[in-house]
Amino acid sequence: MKNKGLWLSIGVFAVLAVVFVFTDWRISQALYNAEAGWAHFMEIYGQLPGAFVGFIGGSVLLALFKFQKTFKSIAGGIGLFLLTFLASAMFWLDALGAQGGETNAPLALLLGLVMLILAVVLLKRLPNDKLASMKPAAQVAFALLFLAGIITVWAVKIPWGRWTYRDILDAGNTALFTPWYLPQGNNGHHSFFSGHTAMAFSVLPLILFLKKDHPARNILLAVLLLWGLIGAMSRIVVGAHFASDVLFGAGETLLWFFLLSKWFKADA
């Protein structure tokens, strides 16, 4: 059944990828609304939940980490701390308005450090078996944030060089529009993939913190998928991405989620 669902998802993704080759521009024309307050809110604050879920994952791993007097242990502990601190700082940078042009890096770093310390202290108060049972879900959450939300997105964004809908409108030259399958090189434009969409779907590991037979699990999954879809739609509405951009941003995140859940033997 799971394999059927996987192949069905791949089929739907492939069909939409082809459809959006011909409909990207028209979809953006129909949905674009520069005055949509909800979409601008999502642009500024929509990445917060994804960053927070990844941060929680890193905090759980830090609380479980056993330091030893070996180079591997010390280096691993420092690396884990720095990446978790980065996730915390990312959260606070966006919370303080970085996506809207308001940057207060010193305060974000301070709040990020305080939140990290508090999270680890509180998590260490949990029973050892309870904390240990959270490890697979935490590993998926932490890895998904960086692999799907940052590394994969920017590995494609930079060389692809696709213009956003609103940048094309500002330039007044519709000839700048290109279909998603044609990379333009590193030209400073970063429409493809959508990082906000990837971050919106990076909340999915939350379901892994619940047992498979938990009555609230399916409801939570529906809520998390809805959040991802709202995040994706908001990017089209504000003109920051085309439909294909958000499709691939969501698709790569869902793929990473599936692979990481298998790798870490999380109960996905």
pLDDT per residue as tens digits for the range 97-123:
988 888 889 999 999 999 999 999 999
- 0.85 exceeded by pTM: yes
Whether 108 is covered by a domain: the verdict is yes
Q: Does some domain include residue 17?
A: no
Structural domain span for residue 206 = 26-263
Domain count, the chain: 1
Q: How many CB atoms lie within 10 A of CB 15?
A: 10
pLDDT in tens, the chain (268 residues): 467 778 898 999 999 999 999 999 999 999 999 999 999 999 999 999 999 999 999 999 999 998 888 888 899 999 999 999 999 999 999 999 988 888 889 999 999 999 999 999 999 999 999 999 999 999 999 999 999 999 999 999 999 999 999 999 999 999 999 999 999 999 999 999 999 999 999 999 999 999 888 889 999 999 999 999 999 999 999 999 999 999 999 999 999 999 999 999 887 5
Cβ atoms of residues 223 and 171 within 8 Å: no
The answer to whether 50 touches 74, Cβ cutoff 8 Å, is no
Instruction: Give a yes or no: residue 15 inside a domain.
Output: no
The answer to whether residue 206 sits within a structural domain is yes
What's the confidence (pLDDT) of residue 219? 95
Q: How far is CA 184 from CA 23, 152, 173, 190, 268, in A?
A: 20, 18, 16, 10, 37
Question: Does 6 fall in a domain?
Answer: no
Asked if residue 7 is part of any domain, the answer here is no
Asked if residue 64 is part of any domain, the answer here is: yes
So what's the pLDDT on residue 102? Answer: 83
pLDDT at residue 164 in the model: 98
In a domain, 5, yes or no: no
pLDDT given for residue 46 in this prediction = 96
The pLDDT of residue 36 is 96
Give whole-number Cα distances, 222 to 49, 154, 169, 201, in Å: 16, 28, 35, 12
- Residues found in the chain: 268
